[in-house]
Homo-oligomer: A and B are copies of this chain.
Amino acid sequence: MSREPGLLDEETVNARANEKARKRKAARDRMLATKTIEKGLLIVHTGKGKGKSTAAFGLAARAVGNGLKVGVVQFVKGVWKTGEREVFARFPELVEIRAMGEGFTWETQDRARDIAAAEAAWEMSEAMMADPSNAMVILDELNIVLRYGYLDLDRVLSALTNRREDLHVVVTGRNARPELIEVADLVTEMTLVKHPFRAGVKAQIGIEF
């Protein structure tokens, strides 16, 4: 038999690929069989890339699509806009979304007011996490507030780690604190590879990157 790949016929190529796929599936099945713990996850989306809040919105939308109740607290005003709200409006009994008003935005230039808004948003977050009807709570842009030191980190970590066992919590925002990553179950860093702003492209409805 030839060892030259160029000389293999299609049938041999397919047979080898199929054998490799069989082994891959067997390995994956063995791996999955060892995963037996069910619990609420502490999920963190961080990094400078796009998609942190969008993926959190995707998780929330998927959860409500599965009939689960979701609470959303926005620590930065204006991140979740018309599109998101319109989707959730179709599941009014399953979503509570709270834009904690005047929290840090690019428009804000009042640190004392920012701290007060962060405090109010955190109190709302604790209430949503304590509500046993919520299956998931999204703390959108909490990382930014923690980064600026507007909330006591220990207080936040304590509430997150002592949450109800079956509650999923999703925290977003760049510059996640290492202490938060340490206690999280699933952490994804969104890395910017290429951004259209560099090419002079404007933010647009439906994308709003």
Residues of A participating in the B interface, judged by any CB pair closer than 8 Å: 10, 13-14, 17-18, 21-22, 24-25, 28, 31-32, 34-39, 41, 43-47, 49-51, 54-59, 61-68, 81-87, 90-91, 106-112, 135-136, 168, 181, 184-197, 199-209
Contacts and interface: CB of A to CB of B under 8 A. Distances in A.
B111 A83 contact: no
A23 to B, nearest CB: 10
A113 to B, nearest CB: 9
Given A54-B55, A168-B207, A206-B62, A106 B190 contact: no
A59 B57 CA distance: 9
A45 B57 CA distance: 16
A128 to B, nearest CB: 16
Contact of A111 (B13, B191, B203): B13
22 contacts: A14-B110, A21-B111, A35-B202, A36-B202, A37-B199, A45-B51, A49-B190, A51-B188, A54-B55, A54-B58, A58-B61, A61-B61, A62-B87, A62-B206, A63-B83, A63-B207, A66-B82, A66-B86, A136-B206, A186-B209, A187-B192, A188-B192
